[in-house]
C-alpha cells in the first residue's frame, strides 16, 4: 500500500511540496521514556530480533510527533552477525566486535550475506510496519567504509589508526573487504526494498575522517558500485556522512538520489554545489537542548539556507542525542511544518 502522506517521497524526488517534510535520524531511541521502558525488557539486539517490538518502537515517534517518515529501528551492525561476526552493543560505548578483521584471511572467512536467512526479522518488521504506517518507511544500512572501520578497529574509534593502517598497508585485503561489504549491503538494502521499504538511507557515518584523496582512492569506487546497483531498485536512496564537507562533491558523484548534509556543512553551500539534487538536513541536534527561541532561530536558519528550493527533507545533521527533551522534538516538527507551509 502506498503511504497516505507521501510528502517525504515527493521531496526526495525533488518535487515541490506543500510543506517541508521532516524526520529525525534516531527518532526512535533513548530520549523517549516509552522507548526506555521497552529497553527495560529487551536489549537493543533483542528489539531488532522481535519484529513486533521493532515495529512498535519504529511507530512510536511517528505517532507521537507527526514525523513525515518512519525509519526502521535497527542498527548498522544488524546484518554483521549473519556474516560471522561476534559483537555486542555496549552501553555508552557502541558496537564492539570480538573477532575483528586484521588480514586477508579474516576477510575471506566472512560469510556471504543473505537477508532472507540472515535477517528475516528485519524483513518481517518491515511487512508489519507497512500495514500500520501512514507515512513512508525508510530502510537503511551502513556504508562499507563505516562498517569496515568497526570491523577492523573492533569498535568505535577516536583516531581510526587501525582501519587507515589496514587500508594503507594491505590494499588488496582492503579492496576485498569493501567488495564483500558492498555486496552484502546491496543484498540487505534490496531485501528491505522488496519487503516494502519506500526509501533507503546509506549511513557512511565515519567517512568524514578520510581526506578527499583517500576517499577517492580507497572508498569511492566501492560506493559507486553500490549506488549503481541501488539505482535499479526504484526507491529513492539517501547518501549520508558526517563531518564530510570536504567530501561533498565526491560523495555526490558516487551516488544517491538525496544527499544528507551533516550539521557543520553549511546547507546553502551544499545546495549551491549540488544543483537540483535533493538534500536532507541539517539542524544541529544540540539545538534541541536550547531554549525554544534559540531552537526556533536554528530552524529558521536551516529553512532560509534552503531558500525555498524544492527537494529539501528537513532533518538533523546527525542523530538525536540521548537526553534530548521530547517536548523540543515536538516543537521542532511543529515549527518546520508551520514555517515551511506554502501560504495560500
- Residues from 172 through 231 that contact a second copy (CB under 8 A): 208-214
CA distance 213 to 202: 21
CB distance 207 to 157 below 8 Å = no
Q: How many CB atoms lie within 10 A of CB 237?
A: 22
In this chain, which of 5, 64, 175, 263 binds a second copy, going by CB under 8 A? 263
From the list 3-11, 190-198, 263-271, 330-338, the region that binds a second copy by CB under 8 A is: 263-271
Q: Which is nearer to a second copy, 35 or 289 (CB)?
A: 289
Indicate which residue of 6, 10, 31, 150 is catalytic.
150
In this chain, which of 130, 246, 277, 339 binds a second copy, going by CB under 8 A? 246
36 in active site: no
Helical packing angle, 292-306 and 267-274, nearest 10°: 20
102 binds a second copy (CB under 8 A): no
Site string for a second copy, 125-164 (x = CB under 8 A): ----------------------------------xxx--x
What residues pair up with 239 in beta bridges, in sequence order? 202, 259
Report how far apart the first and last C-alpha atoms of the chain are (Å, whole number): 30
From the list 61-69, 98-106, 115-123, 289-297, the region that binds a second copy by CB under 8 A is: 289-297
CB of 246 to a second copy, least distance (A): 5
DSSP character for 323?
Answer: T
In this chain, which of 91, 269, 308, 327 binds a second copy, going by CB under 8 A? 269
26 in active site: yes
Q: Collapsing DSSP states into helix, strand and coil, what is residue 57? A: helix
CA distance 37 to 42: 9
Residue position matching grid coordinates 529558521: 300
- Bridge pairing between strands 137-142 and 199-204: parallel
103 binds a second copy (CB under 8 A): no
What residues pair up with 199 in beta bridges, in sequence order? 138
Q: In the Cβ-directed half-sphere of 23, how many Cα atoms lie within 13 Å?
A: 32
In this chain, which of 72, 80, 287, 336 binds a second copy, going by CB under 8 A? 287
Active-site residues: which are they? 26, 30, 39, 75, 150
Interface ranges with a second copy (CB under 8 A):
159-161, 164-165, 168-169, 208-214, 243, 245-246, 263-266, 269, 284-287, 289-291, 294, 298, 301, 321, 323
Amino acid at each position: 500500500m502506498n503511504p497516505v502522506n507521501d510528502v517525504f517521497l515527493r521531496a526526495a524526488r525533488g518535487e515541490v511540496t506543500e510543506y517541508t517534510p521532516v524526520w529525525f535520524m534516531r527518532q526512535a531511541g533513548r530520549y523517549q521514556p516509552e522507548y526506555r521502558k521497552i529497553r527495560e525488557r529487551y536489549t537493543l539486539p533483542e528489539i531488532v530480533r522481535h519484529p513486533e517490538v521493532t515495529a512498535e518502537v519504529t511507530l512510536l515517534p511517528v505517532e507521537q510527533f507527526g514525523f513525515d517518515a518512519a525509519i526502521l529501528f535497527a542498527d548498522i551492525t544488524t546484518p554483521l552477525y549473519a556474516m560471522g561476526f561476534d559483537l555486542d552493543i555496549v552501553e555508552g560505548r557502541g558496537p564492539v566486535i570480538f573477532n575483528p578483521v586484521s588480514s586477508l584471511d579474516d576477510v575471506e572467512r566472512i560469510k556471504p550475506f543473505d537477508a532472507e536467512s540472515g535477517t528475516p526479522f528485519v524483513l518481517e518488521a518491515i511487512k508489519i510496519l507497512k500495514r500500520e504506517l501512514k507515512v513512508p518507511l525508510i530502510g537503511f544500512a551502513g556504508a562499507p567504509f563505516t562498517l569496515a572501520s568497526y570491523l577492523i578497529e573492533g569498535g568505535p574509534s577516536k583516531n581510526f589508526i587501525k582501519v587507515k593502517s589496514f587500508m594503507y598497508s594491505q590494499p588488496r585485503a582492503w579492496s576485498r573487504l569493501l567488495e564483500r561489504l558492498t555486496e552484502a549491503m546491496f543484498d540487505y538494502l534490496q531485501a528491505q526494498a522488496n519487503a516494502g521499504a519506500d526509501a533507503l538511507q546509506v549511513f557512511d557515518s565515519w567517512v568524514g575522517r578520510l581526506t578527499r584523496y583517500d576517499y577517492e582512492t580507497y572508498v569511492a569506487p566501492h560506493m559507486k558500485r553500490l549506488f549503481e546497483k541501488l539505482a535499479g531498485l526504484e526507491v529513492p536512496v539517501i547518501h549520508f556522512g558526517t563531518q564530510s564537507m570536504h567530501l561533498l562533491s565526491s560523495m555526490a558523484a558516487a551516488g544517491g538520489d538525496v544527499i544528507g548534509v551533516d550539521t557543520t556543512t553549511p546547507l546553502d553551500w551544499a545546495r549551491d554545489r549540488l544543483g537540483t539534487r535533493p538534500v536532507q538536513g541539517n539542524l544541529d541536534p544540540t539545538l534541541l537542548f536550547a531554549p525554544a527561541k534559540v531552537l526556533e532561530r536554528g530552524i529558521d536558519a536551516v529553512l532560509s539556507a534552503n531558500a525555498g528550493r524544492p527537494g529539501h527533507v528537513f532533518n538533523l545533521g546527525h542523530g538525536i542525542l540521548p537526553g534530548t527533551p521530547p517536548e523540543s522534538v515536538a516543537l521542532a516538527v511543529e515549527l518546520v511544518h508551520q514555517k515551511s507551509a506554502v501560504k495560500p
